[in-house]
Amino acid sequence: GKVLVSGANGYVAVWVVKKLLEEGYTVRGTVRSEKSIPYLKQLFDSYGDKVEFIVVPDITKPGAFDDALKDIDAIAHTASPFHFNFEHPRELIDPAVLGTTGILESALKHGQHVKRVIILSSCAAVMEADGYPEPVVLTEKDWNVRAAANCEKQGQDASHADAYFASKTLAEHAAWDFAAKHKGEVTFDVVALNPPYVHGPFLQDVSAPEKLNVSLLSVYNNAVKGGQTDAELASSPGSWVDVRDLAQAHVLAFQKEAAGGERIIVASGPFTWQQWVHAAHEIDSKLPSGTAGYDYANIKFPIKHDNTKSRQILGIDYIGITRCTRDILAQFKELGWY
């Protein structure tokens, strides 16, 4: 089959492209700028004409993906802003929502062969950005409800976290609304994958550590650079997943019939930053050790994500912190980043 991967130059997406190619799929990746293409072409050079990259300059334009859909059997939509350089929440919300509805509209009109569309959502659409009064275990039934309301109320003054969480929540809602509205009309079903913080080695074009994507930059800052306070290291942003497991989850979500119509949390487990600092320090004692006397056996995680559904439907056997950290550090070391 031929798979369309949007935002193909992103941290998660390059791994999705790689796993798809390894499993024998043909891939058409979209990027928004011509300058992203040479690196990708070279990276996947050995796959010859099994892979191609095209430019979709503005995913918010109606019909932006129309031409990209020729001969496509399945779609992985990953293009969505994940950065904090913005003035107003709509700079994240608009591309997230309009990119999602736009690719679905294009598939409705021009995707006669499309059987399944994966929307890369997030645990940001599952959990609240500002936490809970009591520890919680969240499942696919849970939704972020506060972020979009806060952005609506506060506009430009909304927190960056709320803007990002709102963008992912509103985009996923829009996907499910579209699926419900056009049921019977479309040839495809929709799957939402909801990963938490994504860690693991990277394949995308990165010239320096400061240019890493948001989630891997956090690992670099905590485990390699250091300098965080004990309180920062003790904090838990929720759960994490290895980027290779998340990419494999995309492949499996195309292959497993039972994934159709499902929202699936793809998470390895909860974490605190101190655990990553510790894992890295155990591998290389030159790296920061963080908080002395930290009680690893009794960590109280404020938020956990139930990954039962991903294990049952997709059959993922998750990579753990030690292996993930080892592989990240090996790459950073090879690049001379520490």
Closest CA to 304 of 273, 265, 334, 277: 265
Alpha-carbon distance 280 to 67, whole Å? 46
- Does residue 195 interact with ligand NDP by CB under 6 A? yes
Distance of alpha carbon 144 from the chain centroid? 17
Strands 26-31 and 116-120, how do they pair?
A: unpaired
Among 25, 65, 165, 197, binds ligand NDP (CB under 6 A): 197
* Stretch of 38-46, 74-82, 151-159, 252-260 contacting ligand NDP, by CB under 6 A: 74-82
Contact segment (CB under 6 A) with ligand NDP among 73-81, 110-118, 127-135, 145-153 equals 73-81
How many CB atoms sit inside 10 A of residue 153's CB? 10
Residue 157, number of CB atoms within 10 A of its CB: 11
User: Which region among 75-83, 255-263, 270-278, 291-299 touches ligand NDP (by CB under 6 A)?
Assistant: 75-83
Question: Of 89, 95, 237, 270, which one interacts with ligand NDP (CB under 6 A)?
Answer: 95
Q: Which is nearer to ligand NDP, 11 or 294 (CB)?
A: 11
The yes or no reply on residue 79 touching ligand NDP (CB under 6 A) is yes
Q: CB of residue 198 vs ligand NDP: minimum separation in angstroms?
A: 4
Give the C-alpha separation, 317 to 113, whole Å.
Answer: 31
Cα torsion angle, 118, 192, 37, 219, sign:
negative
Nearest residue to ligand NDP on Cβ basis: 10
Positions touching ligand NDP (CB under 6 A) are 7, 9-13, 32-33, 59, 78-82, 95, 120, 122, 168, 195, 197-198, 213, 215
